[in-house]
Amino acid sequence: MLYIKCPHCGWRSQNEFSYGGDATVKRPELGKEVTDQEWDNFVYNRKSLKGKHWELWQHLSGCRQWIKVERDTATHEIFNTLKASEEIS
């Protein structure tokens, strides 16, 4: 079971969180014209990386905040966690 440092609450076990997918995907702005390709990239196309991956988790049974977690998808090592408002550098 992963041990995740919630930027708001501190170290918590994985069973308090739910997974939310790739954190680097940006939703196209509302009302902006986008091509089918751009839209598909937003909705469907994911890289499914092996290695370091920024992803979203929600601290569902805690502060309910969505957070960004940098995790190695092969080893589960977690390198960094950020608040929703913090930019991935």
Q: Name the residues that contact another protein, by CB under 8 A.
A: 1-3, 13, 18, 20, 27-28, 30-31, 34, 36, 39, 42-44, 56, 58, 60, 64-66, 75-76, 78, 84-85
CB of 48 to another protein, least distance (A): 18
Question: Rounded distance, CA 13 to CA 5, Å?
Answer: 9
Instruction: Give the HSE-up count for residue 10: Cα atoms under 13 Å, Cβ half-sphere.
Output: 0
CB of 31 to another protein, least distance (A): 4
CB of 1 to another protein, least distance (A): 5
